[in-house]
Structure 1
Amino acid sequence: MKKILILIFSMALCVTLAACNNNQAVNIDDNSKNSPLPASATGTDTLAEPNKPVDNLDDMYNAYFTALENLIQNHILPDGIDGGEQLCDMAENKFAVYDVDSDGKEELLLIYTTTYSGGWAGYVLDYDAETKKLQTELCEFTLLTFYDNGIIKAGWSHNQGLAGDFWPYSLYQYAPDSDSYVLVGMVDAWDKNYPGTDNQNNPFPSDIDKSGTGFVYYIMKDGRYDNTHPVDASEYNEWVNAHIGDASEIQIQYMDLTEENISKIGNGS
């Protein structure tokens, strides 16, 4: 399945992040021109201070309803981007309303997949009571895993080719001061069982694999793809535990994007 995903998505990421990443500058070296970049964590508006409490929840839910209605009717995504040509039923997109960042009010989550793979996107959207507009807390590829400590694990749209069964991802942490998600780091790996060398013709670095797992990992903390500094599984696990630790995965109950389902927003259904 992952080999199929590689073929389908190998050219998808740049287009996806061009749609999602309007404000974030990232450096890429010549050896990683096909490597994924961190997606936008704040969308089109960056808040100088946390959102004010929502006095009228109806306003928030109406904003969520209106954004999804606009997507169904006009194929316009909540951040104003054209959703592109629709290849299948809009009902195949998914949404949920859930307080994933634990700030006391529910966010709108959207998984958008009914266009070409380059336009697939996963959103975390929040309502700003002061501006009465939606803010994009995070826009990434659709492989989103939420944790109850404010962490989001965002799987990349494609495997770089050396990671085998390990799927590369970016890790984000919710930042209350900006009411957005900030990049913690990106992770890729190299599976010893994967034949061949890396893009610099280097063999698998067995001397780094001191734990003998058959994997080495690349932890990139500055938004720049870099596979020149592999680390052992022990160091990788220490890094993951420092951010996820004992946090539990939030089980999101997504609904199909239909008129009937979005009409339920705010009524407890």
Structure 2
Amino acid sequence: MDDNRPLLAPDAVWEEDWFALETLDADTLAIGEPLYFQCNWSYLISDGDHSLLFDTGCGQVPISPVVNRHRRAGLKVLPSHMHYDHLGGIGAFDPVIIADLPVLRACVDGEVLVPTEDLFLGTKHGLAVPRISVTEWVKPQSWIDVGTRRLQVLHTPGHSPDSISLWEPARKRLFAADFLYRGALYAQVPGASLRAYYASCQMLLELLPGDAAIFGAHGQPDAQGRSMAPELGMSDLADLAAMLERLVTSPPAEAGEFKVNARMNLAYSPERP
């Protein structure tokens, strides 16, 4: 056992000395990578004989053995967006569902999806662009059935043009990926848009109830140094919307990082209006 591993929340456990597993409920497993510099979190959503994996890890250590130990018989995979740290293990899975967005349809080469570098951002890190065999395209606002669980696919651009979130009304949970999480939010990378980010915030504030829980794809340790599934709430979403409104209305001339609240900062660039 590596004594240099970070602390975990009391109900989280290590697996393979890399992944932190936290049970959100009997059918929902958060799979974290606290040793990775971006502290990624993916989500395994299950019911009956079915599972859906939302994101496939950073790829530094294969996520598939962990998923295969905890999945149900019928597994589908859905990436939240094409950034490299969310596609690391995608080649090990089939079938793969992809959000039916024009920006992604434009990346289809023959029968496979090959994201552009502006969508992938990984070649500068020495990573090969994946070639993704798409089994099914799902349109924004449509529903995915995982056993008796129903999750709505929401297009939530801002961090990237292809970003999606999953909303589960029955459990009042939004799986928000890179749209909202604890730590530094990126609105300065290629494809980011402050106006789109703000519009997505407004849409979510109108759609979600006030007691919705929001689970993101990254999470810095808490004040006690413990890593845990990055849960936020509607007040955090409202704080982000207020910051984005301020930046859209009066954009600063220089790039910078702005404090949203005690849990989040927003990295901004005037190149991403």
User: Could you state the TM-score of these two structures normalised by the residue count of structure 2?
Assistant: 0.30
User: Could you state the TM-score of these two structures normalised by the residue count of structure 1?
Assistant: 0.30
Structure number with the higher strand fraction is 2
Higher RCO (CA-CA < 8 Å; seq separation 6+): 1
